A and B are shown apart, each in its own frame.
Chain A
């Protein structure tokens, strides 16, 4: 019985090897970034060496003592978290509607939502700048969080709809017969069933908002300036400060890694049938 309850099918004998080889390859550029962050600049550009000749933590010290670095880091964390939660909250009911009901214009609306992810940002920048200044959202965390809903809400609706449609409709009907109201069914039964989708959605919203640079930079100046914008300013008279840039790069991985650590169980567990 133990072998039968294994979950997602049989494992191939070499699957483990293939996977960890892939992860090792994936880690090489990250490792390189880390090695750059603990080396002085002249060593980075000097000559090739796998192991750093001189190890320094000056770059990390600079990052945590310079307020323009660490405050922009915090800004990014604040607006990214706001965006992820807001996107999920508006997307959940919409995704449910798309997966369960037919209504006037549903297919067109769904595709129209997707198209908003296809807009080239370069020319949207000027309109964004003008609108956000006129409504008083310029240089606020809320402003960036709302702006990033442009591409995260469609994505969230889309991912959630994909997963919800995979869940048999009989479950809704059984719950209705058992006397569950729609909101109660949604929160008590349906949400736990799609937790892998919620985990993935939260992570993707966090991720896309975290790495976005162009829009976030355009609609902020000081108070809500993102970390990625601070990174573009490492060019000084002496050239690019590679070590500091790599340090910031290493540190930008940390919050997302924490997020995925928290949602990992949602992603990995999936759902089991017969909960109703």
Chain B
């Protein structure tokens, strides 16, 4: 097997030398996560969504920086406040040769809310659509309940399946490959659970020519094993290189690394709503009124955190200090907000001004198996807060225990992460900082229960403003107000690292996906 592979590689190299532009054959990639299913609508989680784009296409694609670009749709525009018209690409066929039409889009959107037992579906992405009108086989109109400026963003989250194969298909039919017939660049050959997923190139693909004939995606969850697999040549490329291995891998002459900032924000949520918070006491251990309600205390906490030190030492350089919820350059990001500078003196002064010259006691909670170095970050923040007088204890726990407790509001100060799949700011604003409102569906991840009616109003207005410029201005104002009041404390964005053999080139993506279409052979 190995020798055969080496032989193939050698032959390919020779071919490359003889005729530049020849395509290599097999790419083996080691991935940290394995999809739970190949049904693209069953479980909205990164590992699944990533594999789905191998086989399927989205109406609207996201580029490496998550800007929208045409996919199966060539254009999308509002015809009125409540109607979006989408023109579909001509001449696209599914893997079996049957043509792609508006019927498939309609089927997909109607299927999404009906997938049984889905632990996390895409229903929220299509909820706004009230009626789907097929104008002609390549034109489709979405009638929405009210103005829906985010519809294109939402259409860029899910993949389109074939009506012919999807009708009546269960999740198991997608896993076995029976219904896994897409329009995408690769066709599923076989999924050996826990071992590998094998794809072969779709030579009739409408999009860019694919550089690889066969893709073997291997899930290797253990970080050390994934790195060893790359070093031993078992795989050609791995994702999520652990920070601790970056230094020694970059010294290896046979390998190259690619780094890309991600949209994964690490932040602190603080209980800024209740009069008494469960994990706050005075220095003697007596219950006190919740100091986190005071914006000066929240500012002091933000100032006490040395983001540069965390990025440099704990994250080994693989983090970018953050000022807001989405990195600069994305839609709805403010140009005014800058990462809070480390200022322990300023923090102490603010605490004294708020009436806590001697500080208080608090416990910071965090997961220890969810984000890169999450436990260590919590420890570091605790030390920094203790330095300015807030005596901070740390409790970390596995994510399986942590998130349930955090949602039940059992914590006062907690370390969390947020990745913006839609690539813009309204999604974070409505989940993290809008007042918690179960009925309207806002604030679902607002575990600090920050609330400001002005922010709510700005966001809600933005969500019905179709004009992109106006929409963005409203969002930016909402972001500036809520982060000005330290509704959350942004810490940093994670930087993702890919490792590959010297002859490969991959730049990485902000959403962390490993997409073969961008992995090329260095000429």
Q: Do A and B come from one complex?
A: no
A residues with a Cβ closer than 8 A to B are: none
